[in-house]
Structure 1
Amino acid sequence: MQEYMPLYVYKILPSACPVREPLPDRLPVSLTDQSSGFIHLSTALQVPEALKRIYKSEPLVYVLRIPYHKVLQDICWEIADGALSEALSEEELCPHLYNGLNLGRDDVESIAVWINEHGWEKVLLQAGPWLLY
């Protein structure tokens, strides 16, 4: 179904869900993920749009970089609300992790903490090399 194989997928967490190191075996699950029944992830191409739309007024976010090969078997590419669609482009399909809402230390390669100073543009310029496809 999905020909596009990113190197990484990303989980964005708001400041209300602080990420501490060392990461636990299993991270707390957001209300959105709980109600959806899967973990919402983004590709590197989708992170800027998610920040600007969903986390626009968030003062700080934690971004978890997850090697795609570690979660590949549990990823379903769907539109943002979880509906399956093969008619959309790769940029419109989101990686959703269906693994029992289980994401933790063994899945995450690295963590970035980004501070929103008058918009996400400056942060995204500096983060460019870390956001890999």
Structure 2
Amino acid sequence: MTTDNASAESNPTYLYKLVHHADPPSDPLPECLPLSRLDQDSGFIHLSTAHQIPGTLKHFFTKDPRVFVLKIAFQNVAKDIRWENPNATVCGDRPGEGLFPHLYNGGRLGHAEIESVATWENGEDGWDKALEGANAWLVY
């Protein structure tokens, strides 16, 4: 199921892109970051709302020692966002997480769209401590 922005439950203030530890974003951020293999294969950039981040970490970043979290102002990408169901064949059902924001803009995500970058460490308790420490930074 796909919906346009007008039928999404409510537009968030920020969206987030989780980036594997092996692909750190450069500082300063370039005009356009390289796409992940998943984004290349999908034809869009996978994003999450703050509410969806714990599930995304659990399903796709369990073995990463750290992740880079890109904070993107929704208004900077709103015209190119489609709200879609996740592909259950990839990670199984994700009940309660709603539709996911997918960025369809030809693969462009860089300094014009990204407000800030955080680095989170995967600890003995998994991502719990990182998520606790990020509560002030994440906007729900």
After TM superposition, the score normalised by the length of structure 1 is 0.91
Who is 2:73 aligned against?
67
> Could you tell me which amino acid in structure 2 is paired with residue 130 of structure 1?
W
The gaps in structure 2 that reach 5 residues or longer are 1-6, 89-94
> Does residue 131 of the first structure (1) align with residue 138 of the second (2)?
yes
SS at match of 2:130: helix
| Aligned-residue RMSD, C-alpha | 1.5
2-structure distance, mates of 1:105, 1:98? 17
Aligned length: 127
Q: Aligned match of 1:22 in 7, 28, 41?
A: 28
> Could you tell me which amino acid in structure 2 is paired with residue 74 of structure 1?
D
Q: C-alpha displacement at 1:3, in angstroms? A: 3.3
The gaps in structure 1 that reach 5 residues or longer are 83-88
Who is 1:113 aligned against?
119
2-structure distance, mates of 1:81, 1:103? 22
After TM superposition, the score normalised by the length of structure 2 is 0.86
> Could you tell me which amino acid in structure 2 is paired with residue 70 of structure 1?
N
> Could you tell me which amino acid in structure 2 is paired with residue 105 of structure 1?
H
Which residues of 2 match residues 17-96 of structure 1 at below 5 A?
Answer: 17-81=23-87, 91-96=97-102
4+ residue runs of structure 1 moved beyond 6 angstroms? none
> Could you tell me which amino acid in structure 1 is paired with residue 131 of structure 2?
L
Q: C-alpha displacement at 1:57, in angstroms? A: 1.3
The percentage of aligned residue pairs carrying the same residue is 48
Who is 2:3 aligned against?
none
